[in-house]
Amino acid sequence: MNRILITGANSYIGTSFEKYMEDKEGYEIDTLDMRNQNWVDHDFSKYDVVFHVAGIAHIKETKENKCLYYEINRDLAVQVANKAKSEKVKQFIFMSSMSIYGLDSFDGLINLETEPNPKTNYGKSKFEAEQLLSEIEDKQFGLSIIRAPMVYGHNSPGNLGRLFRVVRKVHIFPKFNNQRSTIAVEKLSIGIKDIIDRNKRGVFLLQNEEYMCTYQTVREQMEKEKIKVLYTSAFNPLIRFFTKKIILLKKTFGDLKFENEQIKDQS
């Protein structure tokens, strides 16, 4: 029996993984709410794996909420890992992000040798958490870091869902080709299960087999919903010019790609 604790109740990724594992034999899964300090009294000693997904994302960064990113994405992760280690948990899986590489467009492909260069508080807090967690790891306490690209799926809370909502209202969208690494939440769940089953340590750049083109993805979704949208190339010169200057355009139309599904396996 593989006993797994998901720290971060009601998170999209955590809930999706728990649902994916429902019909799998040999697993016992619990979730833990991290929004108050009651989690410190929870008994971690009965688990083999802690899958830490609690974090702050998908909100506008301001001077006022800057500290919150580091308190939750970095400090909380380290506190949970220290508790897990002290209570003899064997494996700690940390949900990091492709954002540690920054939001700039890349001429080449990102791989495990690419130097992290986070630009946002979200990316910086995730990368600092990775560094601190690496110091905790030892032979008895394995660390697995998943640097996920954009995760999507039914009712996903991220940027793609927001984009769909905008297009439904304005009925116009640029016919602009780009390539981005993404991962379906079900494929991510498959990858997490594999990491657990094989007790794999290291850094994992998981992604879909094909890159996403924002325009094509929007078109497919709107056709599926039978919503009429005008697709035009008229805005393309402006998009090319401003993509490197405006973060929102970088996220929507920039190129940001992993080389392939890479694994720095230390198991």
> What whole-number percentage of the chain has pLDDT above 90?
78
pLDDT for 14-27, tens place per residue? 999 999 999 999 99
> Which amino acid belongs to residue 15?
T
> Does some domain include residue 57?
yes
> Does some domain include residue 231?
no
> Does some domain include residue 240?
no
First to last CA, the chain: 20
For residue 198, is pLDDT > 70? yes
Q: Looking at residue 106, what is its pLDDT?
A: 58
**From the CB of residue 211, how many other CB atoms can be counted at a distance below 10 Å?**
17
For residue 262, is pLDDT > 70? no
Q: Looking at residue 103, what is its pLDDT?
A: 65
Note whether 232 and 175 are within 8 A (CB). yes
> Does some domain include residue 49?
yes
Q: Looking at residue 266, what is its pLDDT?
A: 65
> What whole-number percentage of the chain has pLDDT above 70?
96
* Confidence label for 249 from pLDDT (cuts 50, 70 and 90): confident
Q: How many domains does the chain have?
A: 1
The enclosing domain of 105 has a CATH number of 3.40.50.720
Q: Looking at residue 265, what is its pLDDT?
A: 65
pLDDT for 31-57, tens place per residue? 999 999 999 999 999 999 999 999 998
Mean pLDDT, residues 239-266 taken together: 81
pLDDT for 72-129, tens place per residue? 999 999 999 999 999 999 999 999 999 999 865 556 789 999 999 998 999 999 999 9
Distance separating alpha carbons of residues 26 and 17, to the nearest angstrom: 15
> Does some domain include residue 197?
yes
> Does some domain include residue 43?
yes
Distance separating alpha carbons of residues 104 and 115, to the nearest angstrom: 13
Domain region containing 18: 2-154+181-209+258-265
Distance separating alpha carbons of residues 53 and 4, to the nearest angstrom: 13
241 by DSSP, 3-state: which? helix
Q: Looking at residue 264, what is its pLDDT?
A: 64
95 by DSSP, 3-state: which? strand
Specify the higher pLDDT residue, 83 or 255.
Answer: 83
Q: Looking at residue 63, what is its pLDDT?
A: 87
pLDDT for 59-70, tens place per residue? 888 888 999 999
The token pair at 112 is 């495990």
Specify the higher pLDDT residue, 106 or 6.
Answer: 6
> Does some domain include residue 47?
yes
Question: What does the mean pLDDT of the chain come to?
Answer: 92
Q: Looking at residue 105, what is its pLDDT?
A: 52
Mean pLDDT, residues 182-209 taken together: 96
Q: Looking at residue 157, what is its pLDDT?
A: 81
